[in-house]
A = this chain, B = another copy of it.
Amino acid sequence: MKNIKTISFIGAGNVATHLAKSFFNLGFEIGQVYSKKIDNALQLADDVNSIAIDNVMNLNSNADLYIVAIKDDSIESLLNKINDKSILITHTSGSVPIDILPKNGFINYGIFYPLQTFSKSNSINLSEVPFCIEANQHENELVNLAKQLSNSVYMVNSEQRKKLHIAAVFACNFTNYMYHIAEQICKDNKVDFNILKPLIIETAKKIELNSPLSVQTGPAKRNDKEIISNHLESLKYNDDYEKIYKILTDNIIKSTL
């Protein structure tokens, strides 16, 4: 059982910042903070009493865990530059498979993936953020570590993580786009989009305790053909909205009949 006391961060962006500060506040030592921009590394290092580096060759082997939190498409070339392949190394990406780590020569590795949208300025309570963990060994250590930050820690393998990412595209990215269309329809008709916000929050809260299909409402769910054709008529001015309304309505009718 590896005892994790010192953690080094490769990356000084939103995810690295939230994790490093939280670990620091819990009493962990933050060994080094790497960023290719030394100013970013210095800023975070300063906050967590750590040492900033901007050359990954200067990464020492003194930390018990290395967390790579950089852009997906920079991960591989960075891993390549790390000399000591015996360190315990994890990355925080939702979409990069775990294989990238052994492929680059590492023998102790895992995933430490917090599933939330972070922005540097927003303070996010990590205790409510789900962490998805995967590891070739030291799984228990990573799970215990995540449990110190969060109340929801899940074992998720790379294949499941990929599917989770697709599900998140529907539940979050596409949902946000639905909000956008709603706002646009409001703007087009000089209606205040704020009127819809309480209903939007309520819709999201409802599924905390209910399966979404069981609380589906609206004209499609009721198969209310008069309202549906009325709405489609109103949306004729925007081909895309009309198509989206149609395909989603057809799918809801099919799923709830």
Residues of B within 8 A of A201 (CB): 204-205, 208
Give complex CA distance A116, B198 in Å: 7
Give complex CA distance A92, B172 in Å: 32
- Would you call A46 an interface residue if the criterion is a C-beta within 8 Å of the partner chain's C-beta atoms? no
- Would you call A182 an interface residue if the criterion is a C-beta within 8 Å of the partner chain's C-beta atoms? yes
Q: How large is the interface on A (under 10, 10 to 19, 20 to 34, 35 or more residues)?
A: 35 or more
- Would you call A218 an interface residue if the criterion is a C-beta within 8 Å of the partner chain's C-beta atoms? yes
Taken residue by residue from 83 to 116, chain A's Cβ proximity to chain B (1 for < 8 Å, 0 otherwise) reads as 0000000000001000000000000000000011
User: Which residue in chain B gives the minimum CB-CB distance to A198?
Assistant: B128
Give complex CA distance A88, B29 in Å: 71
Contact B173 A216 (CB under 8 A): yes
Contact A176 B203 (CB under 8 A): yes
Residues of B within 8 A of A241 (CB): 170
Partner of A196, one of B160, B168, B203, B213: B168
User: Which residue in chain B gives the minimum CB-CB distance to A240?
Assistant: B251
User: Which residue in chain B gives the minimum CB-CB distance to A218?
Assistant: B173
- Would you call A255 an interface residue if the criterion is a C-beta within 8 Å of the partner chain's C-beta atoms? yes
Residues of B within 8 A of A26 (CB): none
Contact A217 B180 (CB under 8 A): no
Contact B167 A175 (CB under 8 A): no
Assembly stoichiometry (copies)? 2
Give complex CA distance A194, B201 in Å: 17
Closest CB pairs A-B (n = 5) = A173-B218, A171-B182, A204-B204, A179-B212, A180-B212
29 A-B pairs, CB-CB below 8 angstroms? A115-B198, A115-B199, A117-B206, A130-B194, A152-B198, A154-B192, A159-B189, A163-B188, A163-B189, A163-B191, A164-B186, A165-B231, A166-B231, A166-B234, A166-B245, A167-B182, A167-B186, A167-B193, A170-B241, A171-B182, A173-B217, A173-B221, A176-B212, A176-B217, A179-B212, A197-B207, A201-B205, A240-B251, A240-B254
A binding-site residues for B, Cβ under 8 Å: 95, 115-117, 128-130, 132, 152, 154, 156, 159-160, 162-183, 185-186, 188-208, 211-213, 215-221, 227, 230-231, 234-235, 240-241, 243-245, 247-248, 251-252, 254-255
